[in-house]
């Protein structure tokens, strides 16, 4: 059996399925035992009677035929029942374990995904869980057969002739000893195999994600060679594992063949002695074995072959499942850094006031702070711009509001409430966020816009599209709002993706809205339209606009200027022209750029 704190509960949860399934398996095992008995009896009848079958013997043979058909029917129904119940339970366990892992993945911090590649995590969700599911399904079947069928058959064989049984059982002990030895080696081999698969999965996922860059730099051949190298390593490890597994199976087959030869040899000797009237004496026991008994004994041993093979397979399967469970357990044991405090406060009726109080932030694993001593207050309903050089901490500042990382107490407040005391879900629920990468799902455009509310009516979706000045673009598509955007919005232009992302955020109707450099891919006229719509449609609601161009933020209520992670200035456009060197330089460079463009025109 397979035990672990994350799967033990499933034994109780699906106990009824396992009980019914095991009972059906045992019923089939018992039913099988009658077949060798009937076969041996028929052989004895035909041997002793020759061609002179009496009516009584004919009736007995007819009874055996009918009984055999009934047994076949019982075995068919039993196999249908155990397949339904045991495999049903194994699939339910797979689904439950995958749900546990998905919920865990959604609670882990950004740091975890920086340190662990997506391909590796996906391998745990697919390959490792399937191995565990197989163990609960086929593994349970093999284990029950290996235990119960072996016991039933061994008892029958001993009752038939214990001396011949002892001769047959001696080689069987070799299977157990060999299995215990091989299991430890196979566990190590399987772990290496899974890690190699992780590497291959990581490389493949990364290659498909960056396929555009690979093509642009004409590096297809280089990637193919790199993939071939990883694939060869994975192949070599799999071949090594397969060789060990096959060697184990071959050894079992050899032992089984030896046992069959021994039984046939000694059994034939015993039958010959009985027929000639000179019975064999072995272990001080006079063996009296008829031909029918030998056929029955061989039939029992034929049934015993499957449990012996199952014993070898269950050892291999258990070692694989144990290794996979260890990997999954490590994942589920990962400490959750971002979590609600006991008695966390659920934000409600948020006005949109945001306070940064001597806020500093350093990313995990880094020694250089990204933000240092930021202190400012954003009043409710204000539209605030955030500018600065690349890498100055603009995105870090707005992302800190989403509780993606832990921060110091009272460093950030929303409506005078300590952010660290707030329920994480409620914090993210009151913020509409447009990220830099403008991620879109491979779904209809209308579903991307209405992502925050699947029941959103079409009028609201169109209103949101008009807010982002993207309605005309969507309307121009052949299928309009029914158009599928493709994976990550691949069928749309950069500007269209940005505007649909803005529409999605606006549709949420949150008291706080964050646009992280979300109008960089649109023209100046479209930018002005969107900013106008923000001022008009979001009156009384707080909006933060991270921008690279001064023109984007110059007409906003206030502007935050960051320089190397520090707050250089905070005020209106007019005030910053007098107090902020960074802002003055940005204005000068933009004017120079406009003049150059005008000259070129």
Domain boundaries, the chain: 101-332, 345-430+544-601
Q: What is the pLDDT of residues 85-114, one digit of tens each?
A: 999 999 999 999 999 999 898 888 877 877
- Buried (b) or exposed (e) across 372-406, using 16+ Cβ within 10 A? bebebebeebbbbbbbbeeebbbbbbbbbbbbebe
Strands 383-388 and 542-546: parallel
Q: What is the pLDDT of residue 83?
A: 92
For 137-146, 189-198, 227-236, 283-292, which range has the lowest pLDDT when averaged over its residues?
A: 283-292
**Please, which residues have CB within 8 angstroms of residue 294's CB and are 6 or more apart in sequence?**
40, 267, 268, 270, 271
Which H/E stretch holds residue 433? strand 431-434
For 34-43, 271-280, 382-391, 508-517, which range has the lowest pLDDT when averaged over its residues?
A: 271-280
Q: What is the pLDDT of residue 293?
A: 80
Q: Mean pLDDT throughout 151-179? A: 76
**Please, which residues have CB within 8 angstroms of residue 346's CB and are 6 or more apart in sequence?**
422, 423, 426
What ranges make up the beta strands (E) of 270-382? 281-282, 285-286, 354-361, 371-378
Confidence of residue 598 (pLDDT cuts 50, 70, 90): low
User: How distant, in Å, are the alpha carbons of 85, 371, 536, 561 from that of 99?
Assistant: 21, 37, 43, 44
The rounded distance, in Å, linking the Cα atoms of 570 and 581 is 12
Q: Which residue's structure tokens are 């001080």? A: 284
- The CB density around residue 416, as the number of other CB atoms within 10 Å, is 8
Domains 101-332 and 345-430+544-601 share a fold: no
Q: Which residue's structure tokens are 């033990």? A: 8
Indicate whether 599 pLDDT > 60: no
CATH H-level, domain 345-430+544-601: superfamily? P-loop containing nucleotide triphosphate hydrolases (3.40.50.300)
Identify whether the C-beta of residue 378 lies closer than 8 Å to the C-beta of residue 354.
Answer: yes
Beta pairing partners, 567: 562
Indicate whether 517 pLDDT > 60: yes
Q: Mean pLDDT throughout 327-348? A: 88
Tokens of 54: 């009496």
Q: What is the pLDDT of residue 112?
A: 82
User: How distant, in Å, are the alpha carbons of 93, 95, 98, 138, 449 from that of 133?
Assistant: 7, 9, 11, 9, 38
Q: Mean pLDDT throughout 232-237? A: 88
Confidence of residue 355 (pLDDT cuts 50, 70, 90): very high
Indicate whether 597 pLDDT > 70: no
Beta pairing partners, 560: 386, 570
| Domain 101-332 of CATH type 3.40.605.10 | no
Q: Mean pLDDT throughout 297-310? A: 80
Indicate whether 368 pLDDT > 80: yes
Q: What is the pLDDT of residue 601?
A: 46
Q: What is the pLDDT of residues 410-420, one digit of tens each?
A: 999 999 999 99
For 184-188, 210-214, 483-487, 553-557, which range has the lowest pLDDT when averaged over its residues?
A: 184-188
Q: Mean pLDDT throughout 475-485? A: 87
The whole model's pTM is what?
A: 0.70
The DSSP annotation for 197-208 comes to HHHHHHHHHHHH
Indicate whether 471 pLDDT > 80: yes
Indicate whether 177 pLDDT > 60: yes
Q: How many residues does the chain have?
A: 601
Indicate whether 537 pLDDT > 80: yes
| Residue 561 or 246, more confident | 561
The rounded distance, in Å, linking the Cα atoms of 176 and 153 is 17
């Amino acid at each position: 059996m397979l035990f672990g704190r994350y799967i033990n509960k499933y034994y109780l949860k699906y106990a009824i399925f396992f009980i019914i399934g095991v009972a059906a398996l045992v019923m089939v095992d018992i039913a099988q035992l009658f077949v060798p008995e009937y076969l041996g009896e028929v052989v004895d009848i035909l041997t002793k009677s020759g061609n002179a079958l009496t009516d009584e013997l004919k009736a007995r043979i007819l009874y055996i035929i009918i009984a055999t058909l009934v047994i076949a029917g019982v075995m068919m129904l039993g196999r249908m029942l155990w397949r339904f119940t045991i495999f049903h339970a194994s699939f339910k366990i797979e689904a439950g374990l995958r749900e546990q892992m998905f919920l865990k993945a959604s609670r882990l911090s950004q740091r975890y995904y920086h340190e662990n590649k997506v391909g590796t995590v996906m391998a745990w969700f697919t390959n490792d869980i399937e191995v565990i599911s197989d163990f609960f399904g086929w593994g349970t079947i093999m284990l029950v057969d290996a235990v119960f069928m072996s016991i039933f058959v061994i008892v029958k064989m001993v009752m038939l002739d214990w001396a011949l049984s002892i001769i047959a059982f001696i080689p069987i002990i070799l299977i157990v000893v060999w299995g215990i030895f091989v299991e430890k080696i196979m566990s190590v081999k399987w772990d290496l195999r899974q890690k190699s698969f992780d590497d291959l999965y990581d490389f493949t996922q990364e290659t498909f994600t960056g396929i555009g860059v690979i093509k642009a730099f004409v590096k297809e051949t280089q990637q193919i060679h790199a993939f071939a190298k990883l694939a060869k390593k994975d192949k070599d490890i799999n071949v090594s594992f397969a060789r060990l597994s096959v060697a184990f199976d071959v050894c079992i087959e050899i032992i089984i063949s030896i046992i069959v030869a021994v039984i046939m040899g000694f059994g034939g000797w015993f039958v010959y002695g009985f027929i000639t009237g000179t019975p064999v004496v072995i272990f001080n026991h006079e063996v009296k074995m008829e031909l029918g008994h030998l056929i029955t004994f061989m039939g029992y041993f034929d049934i015993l072959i499957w449990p012996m093979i199952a014993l070898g397979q269950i050892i291999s399967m258990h070692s694989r499942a144990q290794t996979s469970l260890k990997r999954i357990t490590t994942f589920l044991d990962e400490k959750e850094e971002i979590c609600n405090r006991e008695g966390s406060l659920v934000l409600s009726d948020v006005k949109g006031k945001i306070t940064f109080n001597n806020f500093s932030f350093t990313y995990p694993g880094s020694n250089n702070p990204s933000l240092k001593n930021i202190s400012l207050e954003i009043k409710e309903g204000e539209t605030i711009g955030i500018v600065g050089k690349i890498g100055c901490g603009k995105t870090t500042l707005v992302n800190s509001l989403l509780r993606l990382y832990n921060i110091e107490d009272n460093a950030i407040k929303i409506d005078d409430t300590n952010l660290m005391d707030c329920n994480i879900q409620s914090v993210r629920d009151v913020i509409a966020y447009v990220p830099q990468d403008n991620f879109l799902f491979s779904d209809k455009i209308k579903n991307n816009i209405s992502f925050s509310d699947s029941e959103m009516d079409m009028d609201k979706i169109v209103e949101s599209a008009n807010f982002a000045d993207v309605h005309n673009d969507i309307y121009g598509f052949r299928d309009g709002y029914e158009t599928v955007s493709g994976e990550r919005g691949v069928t749309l232009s950069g500007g269209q993706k940005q505007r649909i992302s803005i529409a999605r955020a606006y549709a949420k109707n949150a008291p706080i809205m964050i646009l992280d450099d979300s109008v960089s891919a649109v023209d100046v006229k479209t930018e002005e339209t969107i900013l106008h719509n923000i001022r008009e449609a979001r009156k009384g609601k707080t909006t933060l606009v991270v921008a690279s161009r001064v023109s984007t933020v110059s007409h906003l209520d206030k502007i935050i200027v960051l320089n190397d992670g520090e707050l250089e200035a905070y005020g209106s456009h007019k005030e910053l022209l007098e107090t902020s060197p960074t802002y003055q330089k940005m204005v000068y460079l933009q004017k120079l750029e406009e003049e150059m463009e005008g000259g070129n025109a």
